[in-house]
Amino acid sequence: MAEFGAASENEPIWWYETGTDDITLGLRMRLLHRERTPYQLLEIYEHPFFGRVLVLDGNLQTTQGDEFIYHEMLTHVPLLGALPASMNDASVLIIGGGDGGTLREVLRHDWVRRVVMVEIDQVVIERCREFLGFNGNYDDPRVTLIIGDAAQYVAEEAARQQPFDAILVDSTDPVGPGEVLFTPEFIRNAWACLKPGGVFARHLCMPLFDGPIVRDGVARLRQVFPRVEVYQATIFTYVGAQMAFVACTKDGRSVREPQRLLTGRYYNPDVHRAAFALPTWWVTELIDAPAAEAGL
Amino acid sequence: MAEFGAASENEPIWWYETGTDDITLGLRMRLLHRERTPYQLLEIYEHPFFGRVLVLDGNLQTTQGDEFIYHEMLTHVPLLGALPASMNDASVLIIGGGDGGTLREVLRHDWVRRVVMVEIDQVVIERCREFLGFNGNYDDPRVTLIIGDAAQYVAEEAARQQPFDAILVDSTDPVGPGEVLFTPEFIRNAWACLKPGGVFARHLCMPLFDGPIVRDGVARLRQVFPRVEVYQATIFTYVGAQMAFVACTKDGRSVREPQRLLTGRYYNPDVHRAAFALPTWWVTELIDAPAAEAGL
């Protein structure tokens, strides 16, 4: 089954994530599992500090040790910032998220009554349950898991009755296989899948190294959503460290102020508000850079 | 003069900063200069993305590309947060800071009338002026540069008339040679060197990997200062990425609200306020951990 190679003897090896050609993050860890899924090369490693590590097509996706930062910030900022405290029947669409961490955070809210998760690669879900174990409960009666193409799902749902209060895109970077989740068509369909007060959120990579993705990403979203707010969190195992997220509302409301209180291991109401204070250069050189410079 | 070794042919080499034994940040760069000073091994490299890089005793100190983050946050949060807008004759003591970046940021404030900088290693100052070039102006008439032992200087000044409004410790980590700048004696002397409304600030390393330094550091400062506030900034080239800083006031006032407006390339008034919103685990597991766990 698995294609174990030279690293299969369970000796720790140095594994490197590349930032630019001249920058790497190195982790010495043991390969536990390697498998070519129908969509990608999946690897699970064991690291002395960060615990189990998921790598897809050679890119670090998440680690047991710090996954909480990304998953809490992707989930709670949009859900608690955009949806009113009076809401008790929210419906949430998770796109991707095969490691299950976003699902876990969404399910913490008992006022979320329906969660649809669309992940293209069933093997990711299965191996993450087996090796990482931080996933949410797929057996929760609120959850519908769809193994399929999220771009197609959103295109079909767009013709229906605006079913979701929130869409969280928990995908790989918007280059390569994840690019389909960042086309203008996908964004328009996601917009159409939201109720009038709905919110759309995703990450926008690392501004330090991925400036064009941030510039183009914000510019594309602004063509569809009346309000596009960038926020940030620091995740050491992503090369660049300070990650940009974006939350977009259909009715133009701001998500900066949490409407309900929650404390996670990284997230808390102060962190929520503070996440929108951005380094000056992000704003002047990327987010509010002239559209011509954004390549549009 | 310089001890050029195998890396002297000016070919790029992979250089690694260690987080734990199993974590490294790798930078491929050219060695420009290597010299053993009376105090440490000084190296200057050239990196394609970060520009010139200062390495002391094998530890990355600063890079041209992102030095602004550390220097702006070490300087402006305490100066603008603690000192009233009416003050027009502030005096500032910089301890260490041989690359000159902190001096540059302090001198941006025309209401700072006197700056004393005490750096033990004159060679660092000279080589940084020559190779990095982002230093403040040592010829500014407000500046007094003292080449000497800062711990001794503070001990002597402590017996005098509380001469400083702010003390900024811009040193290497508080382990090894920098440890003398973190003893209870040094902290008490620094306290004694401050005017009644004065502020003391420094960095406290990276909580992700240096938990005991944060715990012990905060606990020690709390034994002397009535108010100790931890804040953070993200600096990718420091392994761990999210750096803890600490600002302590002698009269117990908070530094969270900027008293004057300034916009840097990272720092701005929103970033100032937001810097005090800390990941939950920093507070519960380090900063407010019981003193017994802090090893005191």
**What pLDDT is recorded for position A123?**
98
Amino acid B224 reads: V
| Catalytic entry in A165, A170, A210, A216 | A170
Whether A238 is in a domain gets the answer yes
Contacts of B271 in chain A (CB under 8 A): 277-280
A84 compared with B174, residue with greater pLDDT: A84
CA of A62, closest CA in chain B: separation in Å? 15
Last residue of a domain, one of A26, A42, A63: A63
The answer to whether B284 and A264 have CB atoms below 8 angstroms apart is no
| Beta-carbon count within 10 A of A169 CB | 25
Domain boundary among A63, A79, A107: A63
Task: Report which secondary-structure segment, H or E, holds A283.
Answer: none
Q: Does A39 touch chain B (CB under 8 A)?
A: no
Interface of B with A in 231-260 (CB under 8 A): 234-236, 239-242
Q: Do residues B48 and B94 both lie within one domain?
A: no
- Residues paired with residue A13 on neighbouring β-strands, in sequence order: A29
For A270, residues 6+ apart whose C-beta sits below 8 A from its C-beta are B276, B277, B278
Q: Which residues pair with A145 in a beta bridge?
A: A117
* Choice among A25-39, A98-112, A165-179 with the minimum mean pLDDT: A165-179
Position A288, amino acid: D
CB A93 within 8 A of CB A164: yes
Q: What is the CATH number of the domain that holds B158?
A: 3.40.50.150
Residue range(s) defining the domain that contains residue A46: 2-63
- pLDDT of amino acid B95: 97
Give the CATH number of the domain where residue B43 resides.
Answer: 2.30.140.10
Question: Would you state the pLDDT for residue B295?
Answer: 46
Task: Render pLDDT for A91-148 as a digit per residue (tens, 0 to 9).
Answer: 999 999 999 999 999 999 999 999 999 999 999 999 999 999 999 999 999 999 999 9
Residue B229 maps to a domain: yes
Q: Which of B17, B38, B63 is the last residue of a domain?
A: B63
Residue A29 has pLDDT above 70, yes or no: yes
Tell me what the mean pLDDT of segment A37-42 comes to: 95
A296 lies in some domain: no
φ/ψ (deg, to 5) at A204: -125, 35
Measured between CA atoms, the residue of chain B closest to residue A73 is B279
Kindly write down the DSSP assignment for every residue of B54-110, as one continuous string: EEETTEEEEETTTHHHHHHHHHHHHHHHHS-TT---EEEEEEE-TTSHHHHHHHT-T
* Claim to verify: residue A282 and residue A182 sit in the same structural domain: yes
Test mutation, A11, A14, A18, A22, chain B, max B CBs within 10 A: A22
Question: Domain check: are B268 and B149 in the same one?
Answer: yes
Find chain A residues with C-beta within 8 A of B49's C-beta: 19-20, 22-23
Q: Are residues A144 and A183 in the same domain?
A: yes
Which residue is closest to A284 within chain B, CA to CA? B265
Place of tokens 């536990």: A32
Same structural domain, A232 and A282: yes
Q: How far is CA A181 from the centre of its chain?
A: 11
The DSSP call for residue A270 is H
Q: Report how far Cα A191 is from the mean position of its chain's Cα atoms.
A: 17
DSSP helix/strand/coil, A279:
coil
DSSP string, A67-90: HHHHHHHHHHHHHHHHS-TT---E
B170 is catalytic: yes
Are A165 and A194 spatial neighbours (Cβ–Cβ below 8 Å)?
yes
Q: Please give the structure tokens belonging to residue B8.
A: 């002297």
Contact B265 A279 (CB under 8 A): yes
What confidence score (pLDDT) does residue A9 get? 60
Q: Given B22, B265, B281, which is nearest A281 (Cβ)?
A: B265
| A189 within 8 A of A155, measured Cβ to Cβ | yes
Q: Do A280 and B265 touch (CB under 8 A)?
A: yes
Which whole-number Å values give the CA distances from A2 to A5, A29, A60, in the listed order? 9, 18, 19
Which residues lie across from B91 on neighbouring strands?
B114
- What's the pLDDT at B9? 60
Interchain CB distance below 8 Å, A263 and B241: no
Partner residue opposite B27 with nearest CB, options A22, A264, A273: A22
Q: Does A176 have pLDDT greater than 80?
A: no
Is residue A143 domain-resident?
yes
The predicted structure's pLDDT at residue A95: 97
| pTM of the shown model | 0.94
Q: What is the pLDDT of residues A192-208, one digit of tens each?
A: 999 999 999 999 999 99
Side-chain half-sphere exposure of B173, counting CA atoms within 13 A: 21
Same domain, B74 and B57: no
Whole-number Cα distances in Å, B241 to A54, A254, B29, B166, B185: 21, 29, 20, 26, 30
**Residue range B23-59, pLDDT digits in tens:** 999 999 999 999 999 999 999 999 999 999 999 999 9
Closest CA to B281 of B216, B214, B234: B214
Q: Do A273 and B274 make contact, defined as CB atoms within 8 angstroms?
A: yes
> Is A45 within 8 Å of A29 (Cβ atoms)?
yes
Instruction: Say which amino acid occupies B15.
Output: W
Q: Are residues B25 and B80 in the same domain?
A: no
Output the pLDDT for position A217: 93
pLDDT score at A60:
96
- When pLDDT is averaged across residues A34-54 and rounded to a whole number, the result is 97
B52 inside 8 A of chain A by CB: no
B29 — contact with chain A (CB < 8 Å)?
yes
**A294 lies in a domain?**
no
The answer to whether residues A81 and A231 touch, using CB atoms and an 8 Å cutoff, is: no
Q: Are residues A144 and A278 in the same domain?
A: yes
**Residues of chain B with confidence (pLDDT) below 70:** 1-9, 176-177, 291-296
Chain A contact set for B245 (CB, 8 A): none
Distance, CA of B43 to CA of B56 (rounded, Å): 6
Domain count, chain A: 2
A4 pLDDT above the threshold of 50: no
CB–CB contact A273 B278 (8 Å):
no
Interface contact flag, A23 B26, Cβ < 8 Å: yes
> Could you tell me if A274 lies within 8 Å of chain B, comparing CB atoms?
yes
| Domain identity same for B162 and B254 | yes
How many Cβ pairs closer than 8 A exist between chain A and B? 118
Same domain, B77 and B59: no
Is B105 found in the same domain as B214? Answer: yes
